[in-house]
Copies of this chain bind each other. A is one copy, B any other.
Amino acid sequence: SSSTRILIKGGTVVNAHHQQVADVYVEDGIIVSMQPNIKVGDEVTVLDATGKFVMPGGIDPHTHLAMEFMGTETIDDFFSGQAAALAGGTTMHIDFVIPVNGNLVAGFEAYENKSRNSCMDYGFHVAITKWDEGVSKDMEKLVKEKGINSFKFFLAYKGSLMVTDDLLLEGLKRCKSLGALAMVHAENGDAVFEGQKRMIDLGITGPEGHALSRPPVLEGEATARAIRLARFVNTPLYVVHVMSVDAMDEIAKARKSGQKVIGEPVVSGLILDDHWLWDPDFTIASKYVMSPPIRPVGHGKALQDALSTGILQLVGTDHCTFNSTQKALGVDDFRKIPNGVNGLEERMHLIWDTMVGSGQISSTDFVRITSTECARIFNIYPRKGAILPGSDADIIILNPNSSYEISSKSHHSRSDTNVYEGRRVKGKVEVTIAGGRIVWENEELKVVQGSGKYIEMPPFSYLFDGIEKSDANYLSSLRAPVKRVKI
C-alpha cells in the first residue's frame, strides 16, 4: 500500500549527532535514505516538512501499562497507552515486568499477554523482588533467550517490592556477569515507612502527607547507597526517576569520579512542583501522587540544568495512570492513593517547550535525551533513536510554530485527569510515523491493535565497554596477595 513508501521532504532532519536540511525516504518500515533532494516515483506518499523538524520518534524508558498495583490496575493498557504515546510523538516505550510471586519468567509471560494488543514497539525491563537460585537462573534465561537487558531493584515499598542491601549486591553481581543494566528506584523504604506512620500519627492523611512522608533526603540516601554499591561491584547503574537535587548531586559526584551512572529524570519531576499536593480539592491533589514525590520549587529547574549538560542523560515519564475514582481509594489515607501520573503522551511536547523553547538545549540535545540516548543505553541504536539508512522508520514531524493546550478532554489516555491540565505548549508533533506507517496526522490516530512489535534488547551495551579491562586493572593494582613467610 501507499503507506509503506513515504518521502518526507525539506525538513530539518535532526539526529543527536547532527542536524541538516534533507529529505527522508522510507520503505517497508525502514529508512532507506536521508539526504537532500531525494527523487521518487508517484506511488510514494509525500509529506512536506519545510520549516519543520524531522526527528526520531521518542522512546520512553519508563512506563507502567496494564500494571496491577496497590489493589487496582492502571487505567491505560498497552493499547490505550501506546495510542496516546503515538499522538504525542513517542514511538517506543520500555515497560516494567513485575514478577508473579517473585517469579521472573512467569512475570515475563504475563506481560507478553498484556502486550499482545500493542500498536507500537516496546521492550521490557524486569523487576527483581526476591532472591534465590531460581531468580538467578531466570535472569540468565531472560537475557539469553528473551531480549531482556535490564533489571530493576526497588529500595522502597517496604513489605512488597523492597530489596535489602545483600539482595541488591547479589543482583548487581548477576547483572554484571550477564551484561544487563541494573536499575534502582532509590528511596529508603524503612524510613518512608516510618515517615508514613509519622504523618498518620499527626493526623495528616491527605495527599500532602505523601510528600511529607518521604522527603528528598530519603531519595538522596538511597541514591548514594545504590551508587556506592554499584561502584563496589564495578557495574553500571541506572537511577530511575531522579526527582531531587539530593539524588542528582550524588549522580554528578559519581560521574565526576568516572563512574558509569545514568540518571533518568521524568517529565513530572522536571516541570511540576509539589504545591498541587496541598490543593484543597482531593481530586486535584491526589492526581499528583507519585513516588518519589514531586518536589518543592527549585528541584525541577536544577534537574533541567543537569540534564542540559549531560550530567543526567535521558528523560522518562513513569507513566502510570489511575483515574479519579481509583485515586479516591486513598481519600482517607494517602498511603492508599495509587501512585502514578500521566506523561507518555505529553513528554515530547513538554520537553520541547520547556527546554528547547527556553534555549536551555538545542534540537539535537532534544533528540538525544528523548530518544537516542535511550536507544544507546538499551543497546538498540541505531535501529532505534536515529534517522539513518537502515534504522526503523519511527519518525516525527514537529512544527515549532504550532501550539496546543494539554487537557484530559482531548488527550488520548483513558484517564479522566491530566497532571498538565491547561498547560499551553509551543511546538507540536503534527505527524508520527511508526514502523513505517503514518499513525498520527491531522490530529487523527490511525493505529492497529497488535501491530506493535516486541523489541529484543541485547546485553552488553556500551556501558559495559571496558569493564573487564578495568576489573583486570583493579586486580593488578592490588599488589596482593603479599608473599609472607609462615611463622
Chain A residues within CB distance 8 Å of chain B:
15-18, 164-166, 169, 188, 190-191, 193-195, 199, 202-209, 212, 215, 217-218, 220-221, 224-225, 228-229, 231-232, 248-249, 252, 255-260, 278-283, 285, 298, 302, 304-306, 308-311, 328, 331, 356-365, 372, 381-382, 386, 462, 465-473, 475, 478-487
Known: A164-B164, A256-B305, A285-B482. 9 other contacts (CB 8 A): A164-B190, A207-B482, A252-B256, A257-B302, A257-B305, A279-B482, A310-B310, A328-B487, A359-B472
Which of the residues B228, B305, B311, B382 comes within 8 Å of A218, measured between beta carbons?
Answer: B228
A319-B363 Cα distance, complex, nearest whole Å: 35
Name the B residues within 8 Å of A194 (CB-CB): 166, 169, 232
Pick from B206, B215, B357: contact of A482, CB below 8 A.
B206
Least Cβ distance of A235 to chain B in Å?
13
Residues of B within 8 A of A465 (CB): 359, 361-363, 365
Is B258 a contact of A483 with CB atoms below 8 Å? no
- A307 CB to closest chain B CB, in angstroms? 8
Please give, as numbers and ranges, the residues of chain B lying within 8 Å of A17 by CB-CB distance. 15-17, 372, 381-382, 386
Residues on the B chain within 8 Å of A228, using CB: 188, 217-218, 220-221, 224
Q: Closest Cβ of chain B: how far from A447's Cβ, in Å?
A: 30
Least distance between A114 CB and chain B CB atoms (Å): 31
User: With A466-B359, A469-B357, A473-B358 known to touch, is A258 a contact of B482 (CB < 8 Å)?
Assistant: no
Report Cα–Cα, A17/B164, bound state, in Å: 37
**Cβ-defined contact, A466 with B356, below 8 A:** yes
Which of B166, B258, B480 interacts with A306 by CB under 8 Å?
B258
Residue from A203, A472, A480, A485 whose CB has the most chain B CB atoms within 10 Å: A480
Find chain B residues with CB under 8 A from A481 CB: 202-206, 208-209
CB-CB under 8 A from A207, the residues of chain B are 482
Cα-based distance from A206 to B304 in the complex (angstroms): 32
The docked-state distance in angstroms from the alpha carbon of A17 to that of B368 is 11
Residues on the B chain within 8 Å of A382, using CB: 17-18
The interface residues of chain B lying within 8 Å CB-to-CB of A308 are 258
Min CB–CB distance A286 → chain B (angstroms):
10
Q: How far is the CB of A249 from chain B (nearest CB, A)?
A: 8
Contact B195–A466 (Cβ < 8 Å): no
Q: Which residues of the partner chain B approach A309 to less than 8 Å between Cβ atoms?
A: 255-256, 258-260
**Cβ of A278 to closest chain B Cβ, rounded Å:** 5
A166 lies within 8 A of B190 (CB): yes
Q: Distance (Å) between the CB of A53 and the closest chain B CB?
A: 13
Quote the shortest CB–CB distance from A347 to chain B (angstroms).
20
A215 touches B232 (CB 8 A): yes
Cα separation A47 to B486 with both chains bound (whole Å) = 52
Bound complex: CA A188 to CA B169 (Å):
11
Are B169 and A229 interface neighbours, CB within 8 A? no
CB distance from A155 to the nearest CB of B (A): 10
Residue contacts A-B, CB under 8 angstroms, 10 given: A17-B17, A169-B194, A204-B481, A221-B224, A221-B228, A224-B228, A258-B304, A258-B309, A282-B484, A331-B486
CA distance A206 to B486 in the complex (A): 11
Contact indicator A479/B208 (Cβ below 8 Å):
yes
* A484-B281 contact, Cβ under 8 Å, with A17-B16, A221-B224, A359-B466: yes
Cα of A225 to Cα of B221 in the assembled complex, Å: 6
* Cβ-closest chain B residue relative to A302: B257
Verify B278–A480 contact, CB threshold 8 A: yes
CB distance from A135 to the nearest CB of B (A): 17
A373: min CB distance to chain B, Å? 10
Write the chain B residue with the least CB distance to A306.
B256
B484 near A280: Cβ-Cβ < 8 Å: yes
Determine how close the nearest CB of chain B comes to the CB of A12; give it in whole angstroms: 13
A232 to B482, CA, bound (A): 42
Q: In the docked arrangement, what's the CA distance between A231 and B195, Å?
A: 12
Q: Are B229 and A221 in contact (CB under 8 A)?
A: yes
CB-defined contacts of A193 to chain B, threshold 8 Å: 166
Q: Are A191 and B232 in contact (CB under 8 A)?
A: yes
Least CB separation from A469: chain B residue: B359
* Residues of chain B contacted by A283 (CB below 8 angstroms): 487
